[in-house]
Structure 1
Amino acid sequence: MIDFAKINAFDGGQRASFEELLCQLAQREKFPAGSYYRRVEGAGGDGGVEAYWTLPTGKKVGYQAKYFLRAGDIDWGQIDKSVLQAIATHPELEKYVVGLPCDLTDKRAKARKGSKSGWEHWEKHKEDWEKEALANGITQLEFVAWPKSEITAKLIGKDAEGLREFFFGAVELSPKWFQNYLNQASLALDERYHPEDHVNVRLQTLFSTITRSEDLKNKLSAAVEKARTFTLPENRIASLSAQPDAALLETFRTAHARLNEIAREFDLSPDQAWRVENWIERLDAIEKATYALQKWYWTHSRSLEDNAPENNDLRKCIDDAEKFSSSLSEFADLIRSPYMIAEQQRFALIRGAAGVGKSHLLAQCSADALKAGQPALLLLGQRFNDADLWTQIASQLGLSGRTPEQILGALDAAGKSCGVRSLVSIDAINEGVGSRYWRDNIAPFVHKLQDYTAVCCVVSCRTEYFDSAVPDGVANKFQIFDVRGFETSEEQLAAARIYLDKRGIARPSTPWLAPEFINPLFLRSVCVSLERDGKSEFPSGLTGTKKILKYYLESMGRK
């Protein structure tokens, strides 16, 4: 039996947890294709609903949670207030569901003589709500109660065991739990992870993208907003001695309007797929329309005399079109990237040589995710042996006895509760039990993962072992990203500031770093050695792997 009085409180308390549970149950409801679900953020939801589905017809189904553990304690006035807000704010409602963690007493089982049962209260208030809906022009609005028995029925199925584990399990998967586990993993990485020496690298974008982070959504929204604010200079075009074909202008307007519609999809819940192919199709259309308009501008420009009065207006039209094209490029860079392919697949592979920063990258991106309020786990390849994979994962997480479905289902619920995907990173699968084990286990692992839309995974492996650890079927299907250390000039300059400047070490003359120092582990090791020896510049001739290692070992010996 599920006891709603013992629902895990997490950081927001039991009331907030019950609201989230109801929203995740609502999210699992089946509606026609083309329907989309939206979670309303903020205490008590917004406009009388915690969440709602919008159907292809434009109608809505709204959900409201009220955490009263006994029918006699229900504050019906509080429910009235939410219903009236919903009717006023969402005139498209055709169904309104109220979830309660208690059963409404039967009409024949009144608590005391002369008192009303919970269902009698419900029927009376429902009559008032229906009248209010009619007064607001809503002719058909169904009010439905989800009492304890109804919610329990939705939770007892095998497909809901992850929800049960997350909301009612003995181990509360709270932000503190995730942070404690990451702290343990970070300590085990030892010299491979030093957050104080972190340098931002472009591959961090993979993690913010695959998890559908708020940072990514903000970037997408900002890029589309730049394009949305553009308007055709109708008056300037009309003032020209010739005008573009009407069909050309109409094609541009239509493509522009279709691009603007994309923005409403960015906030969809993580279990609803982004239609990236559709976005690219719409982007292609507006890019072609913009190019056609620019081509007409330039063709018309060449037909004019240098001193033609309309040249200024035409120049402004050309400049506006170029700025608009530039804004489209920002959006294009985001959605046409291999990172977005990884977002669609929810799984990616990272490979690189020793010391290039794979472990540091996974640990730092996990820490960044937790800091942003996203669930994140870091599993270390060095901790795995040849036992059953999921038994080991459960044991490492302190969830012994849980099934893969319970673990992934709980992580899925954790991600949905934050509006993002839970990140599972597995570092260095070439270590521990080694490549052969993962070659046999990684494909089933990824297959199981695919059933949970609010969970994503990034796996790293040393380049030399990649082909023996990752079977062709996995390598050919998913995106592979190579880590090469500090690749760009921006990353190298940032590394100089963090590794050298803060230790008071002068930067070497051009080239500022030897090839070996593009490797973060080499660079840090030498900087630590120089600092330990009290030196403020690189010794002459310190180039080549052998000399660097020799200097480092000698420095260690002088400690």
Structure 2
Amino acid sequence: MPPTPDIDFARIRPHGQPASRANAFEELASLLIRDDAVQWPEGTRFHKFGNPDGGREGRGVLPSGEVWAWQAKYLTSFDSGAAGQVKRSFLRTLTTEPELRRYFVTMPIDLPAGDTDRSKSAFTLWGEEVVRWEAAAAEQGRTVTVEFVGAHDLITALTSDHNAGRVRYWFDASVLTRKQQQERIDDVAAKLGRRYSPQLHVDVDAVQVVDGAGRTTAYIARWQQLLADLRSARRWSWRAPDGDEDAFHDALLRCAASLNEVDALLERIIAQIRAFDAVDLSTAQVDAALSALDDLNTLLRNRSRTDDGFYVGEAGSLYGHVRDAIAALRMARQLCMSPATAAASRGELLLTGRAGVGKTHLLCDVAKKRIAAELPTVMILGQDFDVRNLLMQLPELAELPGSVDELLALLSAAAEASGQKALLIIDAINESEQPDRWQAALQAMMSKASRYPAVSLVISCRTEFVDAVVGNHGLPAAEHFGFEESTETAVRRFAAEYGLDVPTFPVFNPEFANPLFLRLTCEALTTLGTGRFTLGSAGLTTVCGAFIEAANVRLSAAGRCDFDSRTDLVDVAIKQLATIEGGRIPRVVANDICSTLLPNRSWSKSLLKGMLDEGILVEVGTDHLSFGYQRLGDVARARTIAEKTPTAVAEWMQSLGTGLWTERGVLGALAVLMPEQHGVELMDCADLTKPVPYDLIDAFLESISLREPTAASARTEEFVRVLLNADRHRNEMWGQLVRVACVPDHPLNAQWLHEHLTSLDLPTRDTSWSLSLIGALDPEEHSPIRTLIEWAWPTDQNALIRTNSDTAELALLLLGWCTSTNDRRVRDSATKALVALGEREVDAFASALLPLMSVDDPYVVERVAAAACGIALRHESRAAQLAGLLHV
């Protein structure tokens, strides 16, 4: 246990803007008066003031309405000058606080009592001044007591066990400084290598959830905007339509009362967020207000709407106010129930996501920005935890002294000083040694963290490992989809950065939602001399092969490792490294492998350093390495296993027993490789007379969009049809089919989808395909249907797509089928996308139109015909072209 720092107020850590010891003392003294040095009645509400402070640092409002206030003075003695300062503050407080009853003055000294014939002691002077100040209050007919809180009182409070973190923070200026935090996160970023690319950062929705956990100003601003929107809807008085006042009287009163309650609720929530208090998550008042507004809306519709369906005069104004208020309330309800608010209330968050979607990049970027804003933040990488007790390693890995409790207490004190929550981030716990130990460790960690409401705990874990590593956790959770919510934007940005042409296809490949995958793809294309973004329809193994080939070319250069690129040393090294089980590669073993392949090289030109520089490998702790891109490591291991016979692969899977989940990443890669190399599905290697493990089904589903198109066989189609009939897997199967729908020559593309859908009767189709489309464009959904529509009909007209006729025809065929749903938003958006893409690719539109017009679904026929009319009406020349193609 590290020694406790001396409590010396003369050496207190400077604080504030500008940083000073006086500001620091005022902050710490306020905390101690609130929590320890003064006994406050239960139910007291506290307020801390900035400058000017109206004569007091803060106040407590008692349940009775009385006010107790305090003032802090960073003075080393109490003389007449100090007495004058206190007097001015006290008299000012008498003015600002009409209900003042007690006034505490705190200083970092104790009052000497040694009177002499020549001078009064500070103790005597204080007593005389108190009489005068209290008399000044009495002259106003008020009874106010003035009390001194000195160094002894403050030190006594600080020596309590629960204040250990405050002592460490305020009196050890070397810990948790901005410089220390910055150096620490820089070290983390350096260790991550290419997994963190700040220059190519793209904002994603998951950041808002982490903001909620940290209760940042950005998160608070969302609540403030809701309150502003609600008040904007009420900025003018709501009046009943002329001549119908009696009918609307009660409904208007009910709306006013319920909206007042919601207004107060939002103010209370904002105050709770700022004060580190639990957040009121009840939506009862919001629901009551929505009900009242709905009744008023019904009244308007029944009594005030004209025959033409309009509202005029006061009815029109009232209708507009009601509509705006309903919109604000719905957003408030959505935010109340969001993962961000759950994380804000609980002070805990589990961030999940598939392999390599950028969880680490996101959390590192959040941590860097928080530290730059002087918000206390510690980020620890799961890969750095070894086989020792997990919690005991936390302070060591954070490079901070003490135990876990002392680390949390220190972060709590730093959070109090900053006025915003501290974040303790533990990234990728599934990468720890023996990661299943986290189930028990997290329960203990959550229990400890709950005692520090100023600290939030953020954990990330790869989705495939959540059940085994985290278990039944009860944590507020959010899934990170990488760039998926803005994949098109990300691809365009990366393509521009690397001088590549933008794709001519909608980017469905889920790996392109992975920041590292996208970056390495662009680097591979650039290195290999390809100016076009051509890998959109290529399988995972092709893209990984391009990574390796490009890295091999770069490292073979004379200025790098200097070897014959035709020897494929990088690929050979990866194959040998992949045979080492457990995910971690001892550094000495990796060095032996690389030195054997490329001997007699200095460190600067060694193969191992080159692979580290390329991001193929990353350092884990001081003695181990791992693959920098998880998927690349999975594919490398799977390639070794897939070299065996299907029977041997089946025996390998069987040998895993209940530990099948530990090889989830390798199974995903095998689901791609087995059909490519052996023409069999990975599920065929399982005992199909028994229930197929979910890990294998999930691997098959994911493989549909990751395998080479030629590896989709008749057997693949059989499994696809089976899963389309399985309630648990149906929607995911449809989603995977959408992802390959626009790939020309893919056996399961939109042409196959069209033939399959037309083979179903309308009721069956509606309860399967059409049902899966409902909600596809909801804000919280990350659907490939959204990707398709936004590609065909971009909101940014400066980002008009490049297409080819084959891809366009498949996309148009798929868009036509998207109009079968009863989700009006999806149907309308798909129709507009049909027009937007169809008017640019008239030939492709005509080819897609003919089969769609014969579908036995009036929704589809109506919307496709409407799209054709839209194209014809917008462009006379295209109308003639379309008529000629359709022979009409």
Structure 2 length as normaliser, TM-score?
0.58
Output the CA distance in 1 between the equivalents of 2:118 and 2:390: 61
Shift of 1:479: 1.7
Deviations 1:432-454 (A, max 9, x none): 32313322311111111110010
Output the CA distance in 1 between the equivalents of 2:136 and 2:273: 31
> For 1:325-364, what aligned pairs fall within 5 Å after superposition?
325-364=326-365
Change (3 A) 1:90 1:114: same
Classify the secondary structure of the residue corresponding to 1:379. Answer: strand
- Stretches of structure 2 that go unaligned for 5 or more consecutive residues are 1-5, 555-888
What residue number does 2:194 align with?
191
Change (3 A) 1:120 1:133: same
Classify the secondary structure of the residue corresponding to 1:409. Answer: helix
What residue number does 2:796 align with?
none
Change (3 A) 1:373 1:243: farther
Aligned counterpart for 2:46 among listed residues 37, 41, 51: 37
Classify the secondary structure of the residue corresponding to 2:340. Answer: helix
Shift of 1:469: 1.4
Change (3 A) 1:535 1:33: farther
Classify the secondary structure of the residue corresponding to 1:38. Answer: strand
Shift of 1:353: 2.0
Deviations 1:293-343 (A, max 9, x none): 1111111125x66699x9432122112211121122332232221221121
What residue number does 2:541 align with?
546
Aligned counterpart for 2:550 among listed residues 535, 542, 555: 555
**Contact (CA 8 Å) 1:271, 1:453: kept in 2 or not?**
no
Aligned counterpart for 2:154 among listed residues 151, 154, 171: 151
> For 1:45-124, what aligned pairs fall within 5 Å after superposition?
46-71=53-78, 75-106=82-113, 109-110=114-115, 112-124=116-128
> For 1:299-378, what aligned pairs fall within 5 Å after superposition?
299-302=302-305, 311-378=312-379
Aligned counterpart for 2:132 among listed residues 119, 128, 137: 128
Q: Higher relative contact order at CA 8 Å, sep ≥6: structure 1 or structure 2? A: 1
Shift of 1:140: 2.8
**Contact (CA 8 Å) 1:269, 1:420: kept in 2 or not?**
no
Code of the aligned partner of 1:470: V
Of the structure 1 ranges 406-415 and 367-376, higher mean CA displacement relative to structure 2 is found in 367-376
Q: Does 1:526 align with 2:533?
A: no
Output the CA distance in 1 between the equivalents of 2:238 and 2:471: 61
Of the structure 1 ranges 371-380 and 235-244, higher mean CA displacement relative to structure 2 is found in 235-244
Q: Does 1:173 align with 2:173?
A: no
**Contact (CA 8 Å) 1:349, 1:460: kept in 2 or not?**
yes
Shift of 1:275: 4.0
**Contact (CA 8 Å) 2:420, 2:454: kept in 1 or not?**
yes
Output the CA distance in 1 between the equivalents of 2:62 and 2:400: 39
Shift of 1:243: 3.3
Change (3 A) 1:446 1:234: closer
Change (3 A) 1:411 1:300: same
Deviations 1:162-182 (A, max 9, x none): 111111136332222222211
Shift of 1:153: 0.9
Shift of 1:544: 1.2
**Contact (CA 8 Å) 1:386, 1:437: kept in 2 or not?**
no
What residue number does 2:451 align with?
451
Shift of 1:234: 5.3
Aligned counterpart for 1:482 among listed residues 460, 464, 479: 479
**Contact (CA 8 Å) 1:24, 1:413: kept in 2 or not?**
no
Q: Does 1:427 align with 2:395?
A: no
Structure with bigger helix share is: 2
Q: Does 1:503 align with 2:504?
A: no
Output the CA distance in 1 between the equivalents of 2:335 and 2:416: 23
Change (3 A) 1:515 1:469: closer
What residue number does 1:460 align with?
460
* Matched residues, number: 544
Output the CA distance in 2 between the equivalents of 1:74 and 1:6: 23
Change (3 A) 1:66 1:265: farther
Change (3 A) 1:286 1:124: farther
Deviations 1:416-444 (A, max 9, x none): 11121100110111123231332231111
Classify the secondary structure of the residue corresponding to 1:75. Answer: helix
Change (3 A) 1:269 1:58: farther
Classify the secondary structure of the residue corresponding to 2:246. Answer: coil
Output the CA distance in 2 between the equivalents of 1:123 and 1:547: 85
Output the CA distance in 1 between the equivalents of 2:383 and 2:468: 17
**Contact (CA 8 Å) 1:47, 1:90: kept in 2 or not?**
no
Change (3 A) 1:70 1:395: farther
**Contact (CA 8 Å) 1:130, 1:141: kept in 2 or not?**
yes
Larger radius of gyration: 2
Output the CA distance in 1 between the equivalents of 2:426 and 2:433: 14
Output the CA distance in 2 between the equivalents of 1:231 and 1:117: 61
**Contact (CA 8 Å) 1:516, 1:544: kept in 2 or not?**
no
**Contact (CA 8 Å) 1:514, 1:543: kept in 2 or not?**
no
> For 1:230-249, what aligned pairs fall within 5 Å after superposition?
230-231=233-234, 236-237=239-240, 239-249=242-252
Output the CA distance in 2 between the equivalents of 1:536 and 1:306: 58
Change (3 A) 1:125 1:292: farther
What residue number does 1:17 align with?
24
Code of the aligned partner of 1:368: K
Output the CA distance in 1 between the equivalents of 2:63 and 2:477: 37
Change (3 A) 1:179 1:289: same
Output the CA distance in 1 between the equivalents of 2:330 and 2:32: 39
Change (3 A) 1:69 1:390: farther
* Aligned-pair identity (%): 26
Output the CA distance in 2 between the equivalents of 1:467 and 1:354: 15
**Contact (CA 8 Å) 2:25, 2:74: kept in 1 or not?**
yes
Shift of 1:78: 2.1
Change (3 A) 1:516 1:255: same
Change (3 A) 1:232 1:270: closer
Code of the aligned partner of 1:445: M
Code of the aligned partner of 1:412: S
**Contact (CA 8 Å) 1:97, 1:146: kept in 2 or not?**
yes
Classify the secondary structure of the residue corresponding to 1:244. Answer: helix
**Contact (CA 8 Å) 1:87, 1:136: kept in 2 or not?**
no
Output the CA distance in 1 between the equivalents of 2:178 and 2:273: 20
Aligned counterpart for 1:256 among listed residues 256, 259, 270: 259
What residue number does 1:140 align with?
143
**Contact (CA 8 Å) 1:36, 1:268: kept in 2 or not?**
no
Classify the secondary structure of the residue corresponding to 1:69. Answer: coil
Output the CA distance in 1 between the equivalents of 2:22 and 2:153: 18
Output the CA distance in 1 between the equivalents of 2:42 and 2:217: 26
Output the CA distance in 2 between the equivalents of 1:80 and 1:130: 10
Output the CA distance in 2 between the equivalents of 1:257 and 1:370: 39
- Stretches of structure 1 that go unaligned for 5 or more consecutive residues are none
**Contact (CA 8 Å) 2:107, 2:151: kept in 1 or not?**
yes
What residue number does 1:494 align with?
489
Code of the aligned partner of 1:478: L
Change (3 A) 1:323 1:523: same
Deviations 1:220-244 (A, max 9, x none): 1221122124438657416233533
Code of the aligned partner of 1:343: A
Code of the aligned partner of 2:504: S
Structural RMSD (CA): 2.6
**Contact (CA 8 Å) 1:542, 1:548: kept in 2 or not?**
no
